Amino acid sequence: AQKVTQAQTEISVVEKEDVTLDCVYETRDTTYYLFWYKQPPSGELVFLIRRNSFDEQNEISGRYSWNFQKSTSSFNFTITASQVVDSAVYFCALSGGGGSTLGRLYFGRGTQLTVWP
């Protein structure tokens, strides 16, 4: 079964602090894909990143970075020098690589990040 756990329901930080959002996943697939999406108050889910299970290299994009560790089944997301505009709900998601799990996204419950000025 596919499962994504985001243990942090809410996080509050002050602007310019670094913050890490945790994501732990479960899957029996050897090929799978991991995603992060941002959902601002407007409601639209915004795609941030997609990684496949064979690529464990960490990735940095501006103030965003992602740490993928297969050994701990984690795909954590760090925002450096947070800004008020980063306030949103962040979702981690998993998609299988074949069969009945291919195509569909399994989402965690999300982490509400609030950045105070």
Partner 1 sequence: GAGVSQTPSNKVTEKGKYVELRCDPISGHTALYWYRQSLGQGPEFLIYFQGTGAADDSGLPNDRFFAVRPEGSVSTLKIQRTERGDSAVYLCASSLTIVTEAFFGQGTRLTVV
Residues of the shown chain interacting with partner 1 in the complex, contacts defined by CB under 8 A: 4, 33, 35, 37, 42-47, 50, 91, 93, 95, 97, 100, 102-110
In whole angstroms, the minimum distance from the beta carbon of 117 to partner 1 comes to 25
Nearer to partner 1, 16 or 50 (CB): 50
Measured between alpha carbons, how far is 77 from 62 in angstroms, rounded to an integer? 13
In whole angstroms, the minimum distance from the beta carbon of 110 to partner 1 comes to 5
In whole angstroms, the minimum distance from the beta carbon of 105 to partner 1 comes to 7
Nearer to partner 1, 9 or 71 (CB): 9
3-state secondary structure of 71: helix
Nearer to partner 1, 46 or 81 (CB): 46
**CB neighbours of residue 100 within 10 Å:** 8
**C-alpha 4, offset from chain centre:** 10
**CB neighbours of residue 69 within 10 Å:** 11
Give the residue among 6, 16, 30 at the shortest CA–CA distance from 90: 6
